[in-house]
A and B are shown apart, each in its own frame.
With several copies, the nearest count.
Chain A
């Protein structure tokens, strides 16, 4: 039986970039899973980390905090962090938190690979 705490995060590497694709709601109970994957990804020192969010129908401030931390970690290793494919509902929390300018947000992975 599946652990109900699971958040699926699909990994892909492409041209020196790591692409993480989480699927599920990223809330207080799930953001630690994403945090773990991001820390692992950063450990591999990629040139670029892309978080593809099309499969995320909901994100709360703990998810956003996880991404702010990811940005800090990425800067330390001179990697570029890019978010892409946000649903409207998820985009809305970045606006409310006034972080839509802080992050590089792209329409899709291809755009995120160039940004």
Chain B
């Protein structure tokens, strides 16, 4: 697996105030890459959920900690699509402890990880080399997720 430079790297502070900018970035990019409007919306949602989880769980709602997001416009196999990593410098935890819950038991909360896994082809949590956690998300651009033509969304 070659490791080219991400096409976009962003560092934002862990204030929920900045989530709108981050998800709109992802929405604008995915539409431009050729993902369908609704698929782009779901990808932006998944990224938003992942960032919100870093703020809520990784940083326990501290507003001034760094979050890094890197975006590649190819899957690790070199196919058109997205590879997105989200990294923090929060306490390292067991990646297996981050999991979605049974949705049949309806209750407030506990939907984020489910959304991320449902939307993405692949979502892997791991400890970073030094400090913090890394989430890697992969989403291929398949004919199903592609629009034949770009349409404006007003």
Contact of A65 among B38, B45, B111 (CB under 8 A): B111
Report the bound CA distance from A114 to B149 in whole Å: 31
B residues contacting the other copy or chain, number (CB 8 A)? 41
Within the complex, the shortest CB–CB distance from A22 to chain B, in Å, comes to: 9
> What chain B residues lie within 8 Å of A62 (beta carbons)?
52, 109
In the assembled complex, which residues on chain A have CB atoms less than 8 Å from the CB atom of B16? 27-29
Q: Which of B86-94, B127-135, B140-148 contacts A (4 or more CB under 8 A)?
A: B140-148
B19 partner, pick from A23, A24, A29, beta carbons under 8 A? A29
**Which of B15, B42, B153 has a CB less than 8 Å from the CB of A96?**
B42
Assuming the A-B contacts A2-B146, A6-B150, A24-B150, are A96 and B119 also in contact, with contact meaning beta carbons closer than 8 angstroms in the complex?
Answer: yes
From A1, A29, A66, A93, give the contact of B108 (CB < 8 A).
Answer: A66
Q: Is residue B5 contacting chain A, with contact meaning CB distance below 8 A? A: no
Residue numbers of B with Cβ under 8 A of A are: 15-17, 19-20, 23, 32-34, 38, 41-42, 45, 48-49, 52, 55-56, 80, 103, 106-109, 111-112, 114-115, 118-119, 141, 143, 146-154
